[in-house]
């Protein structure tokens, strides 16, 4: 992650230069007795275009709006109605600081959701800290950027939690003994390489090392080398395009029975098996809750999650693929947790709300993520290590689904 910081240092400077134009949002005028509604939730994400990323941004907006509507139906928060406002950053590092500044310049915005991805968050974080507005993240993998992030909260697990979860599954549920990694030579790939090197032995596994590959190109040579070394499994890049090329190489070499494919949450989106095709069948991956696409009976779905999915299906319908819900429970949980923190603080003041948020303890039945959320001042991640699940992509006739191999225990 050090490499990530260096590569995006320019964004940090840009963000800091923009801070001077933002109002200070803390102070005594933020309480329920003086705040004149509506109170606003700001969402910054990619909200235009036809790419898979733009689609996910729209689904995130749907989920946030659904939860806001649910709050308003109950009288709002502290008796104040809630309104959604948005800014489209087009997933551009050049546009994100301006989009965040635009939202935070409105003193009525008391929760900022987004942006997605570590590189964009790096440019937003100084603005959030300066404005003292609680910030909720649904897709940001860089653990180091969450250090000293008083106002930011993630609706996911620490990225470093995925490796021990995966290795624990491999140790207890498979015959795999030798494991390798094929990934891009970037901060994320380097991080997984280091974690696998440090932890594989603790799970009785031999780590064969990493093969770093270019963003484009054939990977048959790397796969052949792993087979010669006797690897039983390969961990794929979290970049879906790179992971797809690895799977295609394994399939071309007719090595699917010899070399099992493993992955992380970057491969959990439905667009991944659609793009990878039959090569994705059987891929085992770690992710937060994907229950509605799995073989888990509805009776076993966590209560709040079940309610969210059913309402989203009714309101927004199914995605064009006929399977996905056009909403994201993580976005809705951002709003739900913020509302809980506001109620606990009895104030919209950002500093007080952030403090209350860092003390929330939400049961699995009440969490839209289906896990126990136990925040602390030092841990702002909603999903605990034991809240991750192990899934496997499976081709089910003309569509894809997931088999839940190991469910959350926390």
What average pLDDT does the chain have? Answer: 90
In this prediction, residue 281 carries a pLDDT of: 95
The residue ranges of every structural domain in the chain are 2-157+329-379, 160-287+388-406
Residue 162 to residue 150: CA distance in whole angstroms: 23
- pLDDT > 70 in the chain, percent: 91
For residue 317, pLDDT beyond 90: yes
- Cβ–Cβ under 8 Å, residues 143 and 160: yes
Tens of pLDDT, residue by residue over 232-263, are: 999 999 889 999 999 999 999 999 999 999 99
Q: What is the CATH number of domain 2-157+329-379?
A: 3.40.50.2300
Neighbour order of strands in the sheet with 206-213: 206-213, 178-184, 233-236, 260-263, 284-287, 389-396, 399-406
Tens of pLDDT, residue by residue over 335-359, are: 999 999 999 999 999 999 999 999 9
Give the tokens for residue 51. Answer: 């790419």
For residue 285, pLDDT beyond 50: yes
Domains 2-157+329-379 and 160-287+388-406 belong to one CATH topology: yes
Residue 103 to residue 96: CA distance in whole angstroms: 11
Tens of pLDDT, residue by residue over 350-383, are: 999 999 999 999 999 999 999 999 999 999 999 9
Backbone phi, then psi, for 117, in 5-degree steps? Answer: 75, 150
Query: Among candidates 40, 351, 365, 149, which has minimal Cα distance to 137?
Result: 149
Residue 233's CB is within 10 A of a number of other CB atoms, namely 23
Query: Among candidates 122, 178, 177, which has minimal Cα distance to 149?
Result: 122
Most confident of 10-24, 43-57, 221-235, 263-277: 221-235
For residue 45, pLDDT beyond 50: yes
Tens of pLDDT, residue by residue over 65-106, are: 999 999 999 999 999 999 999 999 999 999 999 999 999 999
Q: What's the rounded mean pLDDT across residues 15-44?
A: 59
Tens of pLDDT, residue by residue over 113-143, are: 999 988 899 999 999 999 999 999 999 888 8
pTM of the model: 0.87
Which is higher by pLDDT, 121 or 24?
121
For residue 11, pLDDT beyond 60: no
pLDDT band at 34 (very low <50, low <70, confident <90, very high): low
H helices of 79-178, in order, are 96-104, 118-131, 162-173
Q: What's the rounded mean pLDDT across residues 166-176?
A: 95
Tens of pLDDT, residue by residue over 192-206, are: 999 999 999 999 999
pLDDT band at 23 (very low <50, low <70, confident <90, very high): very low
Which is higher by pLDDT, 35 or 16?
35
Assigned superfamily of 160-287+388-406:
Response regulator (3.40.50.2300)
């Amino acid at each position: 992650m050090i490499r990530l910081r260096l590569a995006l240092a320019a964004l940090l400077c840009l963000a800091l230069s923009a801070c001077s134009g933002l109002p200070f949002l803390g102070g005594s005028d933020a309480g329920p007795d003086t705040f004149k509604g509506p109170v606003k939730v700001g969402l910054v994400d990619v909200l235009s275009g036809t790419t898979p990323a733009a689609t996910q941004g729209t689904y995130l907006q749907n989920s946030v709006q659904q939860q806001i509507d649910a709050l308003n139906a109950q009288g709002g928060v502290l008796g104040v109605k809630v309104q959604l406002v948005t800014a489209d950053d087009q997933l551009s590092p050049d546009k994100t600081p301006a989009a965040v500044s635009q939202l935070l310049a409105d003193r009525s915005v008391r929760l900022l959701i987004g942006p997605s991805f570590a590189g964009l968050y790096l440019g937003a974080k100084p603005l959030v800290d300066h404005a003292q507005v609680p910030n909720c993240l649904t897709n940001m993998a860089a653990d180091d950027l969450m250090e000293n992030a008083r106002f930011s909260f993630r609706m996911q697990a620490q990225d470093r939690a995925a490796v021990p979860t995966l290795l624990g599954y491999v140790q207890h549920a498979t015959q795999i003994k030798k494991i390798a990694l094929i990934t891009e030579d970037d901060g994320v790939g380097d991080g997984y390489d280091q974690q696998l090197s440090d932890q594989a032995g603790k799970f009785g596994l031999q780590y064969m090392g990493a093969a770093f590959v270019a963003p484009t190109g054939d990977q048959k040579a790397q796969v052949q080398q792993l087979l010669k070394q006797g690897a039983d499994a390969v961990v794929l890049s979290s970049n879906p395009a790179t992971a797809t090329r690895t799977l295609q190489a394994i399939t071309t070499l007719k090595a699917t029975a010899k070399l099992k494919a493993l992955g992380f949450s970057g491969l959990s989106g439905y667009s991944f098996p659609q793009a990878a095709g039959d090569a994705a069948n059987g891929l085992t991956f770690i992710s937060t809750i994907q229950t509605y696409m799995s073989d888990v009976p509805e009776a076993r779905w966590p209560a709040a999650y079940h309610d969210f999915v059913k309402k989203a299906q009714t309101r927004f319908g199914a995605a064009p693929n006929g399977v996905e819900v056009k909403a994201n429970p993580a976005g809705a949980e951002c709003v739900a947790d913020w509302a809980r923190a506001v109620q606990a603080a009895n104030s919209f003041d950002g500093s007080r709300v952030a403090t209350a948020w860092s003390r929330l303890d939400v049961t699995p039945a009440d969490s839209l993520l289906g896990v126990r959320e136990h925040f602390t001042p030092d841990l702002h991640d909603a999903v605990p290590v034991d809240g991750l699940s192990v899934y496997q992509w499976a081709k089910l006739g003309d569509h894809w689904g997931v088999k839940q191999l190991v469910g959350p225990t926390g």
